């Protein structure tokens, strides 16, 4: 049965609003796949779902034509196709993999859009609330359990002045835990490059860490960025 046009608009609007809610959280967290990306993914999924279930009613067939329609094929293609967009949100920076959560949220808003496009409003809203719970509340739980701040640090400097042992000792004095060390040495320029992840007890510790590292002998540059 064909649904009214106003109902189609309502389903598309629901998918857009719910996808935007998830995207807003990603935007506030500073991730590349933010408000607009999630909004468009959810709206597109809702539209695909409407096309999947309603397109047959907008075609012109002769009386007596035998028509077989599989309405699940378009929706199934959305589930597999969203993987390409999600893969684009995953970045490898040194030894760290970033963007996995954003890729998962894109996959989820595709499901939200399909549910909204199918008129399953309760399911769409429940999935959105569940995702916001995971993205916001569980982030705080992680910080309580695994320290407050997680950052990736990249240090470049000249050997032999730049000493890894001194760097690690300075971080230890600040109560900072270091993990996943990656080191490379440019023999031509005699430059050492260190990349590692750190767990910092407090937000103020980020500034303290920067001050200590920049003051060390042989350090040319210090780069600190968030870890997803």
Shared-domain flag, residues 51 and 138: yes
Which CATH number do you get for residue 195? 3.30.70.260
Shared-domain flag, residues 11 and 106: yes
Owning domain of residue 161: 149-226
| 190/179 Cα distance (integer angstroms) | 25
Contacts of 127 (CB under 8 A, 6+ apart): 18, 108, 111, 112, 115
| 54/64 Cα distance (integer angstroms) | 20
Shared-domain flag, residues 103 and 188: no
Q: Tokens for 187?
A: 């023999």
> So what's the pLDDT on residue 91?
60
Shared-domain flag, residues 120 and 21: yes
Shared-domain flag, residues 96 and 11: yes
Shared-domain flag, residues 141 and 161: no
| 223/61 Cα distance (integer angstroms) | 64
Q: Tokens for 177?
A: 């835990």
Please give the backbone phi and psi of residue 145, each rounded to the nearest 5 degrees, phi first.
-85, -40
Shared-domain flag, residues 201 and 176: yes
> So what's the pLDDT on residue 146?
47
Q: Quick check: pTM over 0.75?
A: no
DSSP β-bridge partners for residue 149: 200
Chosen domain end from 122, 145, 168 = 145
Shared-domain flag, residues 170 and 60: no
| 89/34 Cα distance (integer angstroms) | 10
Q: Mind listing the pLDDT tens digit of every residue in the chain (228 residues)?
A: 778 888 889 988 888 888 888 888 777 766 666 777 788 788 888 888 887 887 777 777 667 666 666 767 777 787 777 777 667 666 655 545 566 677 777 878 888 888 888 888 888 888 888 888 877 776 665 555 444 577 888 888 888 778 788 888 888 888 888 776 777 878 777 888 888 888 887 777 888 888 888 888 888 888 888 765
β-pairing, 219-226 vs 177-186, is: unpaired
Q: Tokens for 185?
A: 């040495």
Shared-domain flag, residues 37 and 141: yes
Chosen domain end from 145, 171, 192 = 145
Shared-domain flag, residues 19 and 131: yes
Helices of type H across the chain? 5-28, 35-54, 72-88, 100-117, 121-132, 138-145, 164-173, 204-214
Chosen domain end from 98, 120, 145 = 145
Shared-domain flag, residues 18 and 56: yes
Contact between residue 112 and residue 196 where contact means Cβ atoms under 8 Å apart: no
| 88/5 Cα distance (integer angstroms) | 34
Shared-domain flag, residues 84 and 195: no
Q: Residue 7 belongs to what H/E stretch?
A: helix 5-28
Q: Quote the number of domains for the chain.
A: 2
- Positive or negative torsion for Cα 86, 87, 88, 94: positive
| 97/109 Cα distance (integer angstroms) | 22
Q: Tokens for 210?
A: 């920067």
Q: Tokens for 157?
A: 């400097």
């Amino acid at each position: 049965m064909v649904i009214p046009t106003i109902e189609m608009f309502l389903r598309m609007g629901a998918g857009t609003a719910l996808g935007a809610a998830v995207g807003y959280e990603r935007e506030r967290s500073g991730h590349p796949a933010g408000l607009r990306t999630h909004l468009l993914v959810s709206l597109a999924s809702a539209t695909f779902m409407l096309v999947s279930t309603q397109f047959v009613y907008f075609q012109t067939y002769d009386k007596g034509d035998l028509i077989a329609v599989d309405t699940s094929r378009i929706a199934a293609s959305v589930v597999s196709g969203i993987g390409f967009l999600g893969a684009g949100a995953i970045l490898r920076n040194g030894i760290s993999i970033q963007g996995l959560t954003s890729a998962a949220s894109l996959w989820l808003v595709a499901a939200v859009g399909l549910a909204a496009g199918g008129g399953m409003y309760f399911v769409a809203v429940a999935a959105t609330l569940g995702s916001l719970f995971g993205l916001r509340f569980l982030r705080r739980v992680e910080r309580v359990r695994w320290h407050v701040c997680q950052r990736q640090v990249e240090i470049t400097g000249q050997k032999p002045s730049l000493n890894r042992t001194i760097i690690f000792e300075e971080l230890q004095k600040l109560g900072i835990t270091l993990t996943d060390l990656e080191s490379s040495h440019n023999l031509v320029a005699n430059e050492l490059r260190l990349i590692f992840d750190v767990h910092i007890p407090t937000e103020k510790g980020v500034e303290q860490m920067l001050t200590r590292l920049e003051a060390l002998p042989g350090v040319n540059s210090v780069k600190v960025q968030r870890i997803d």
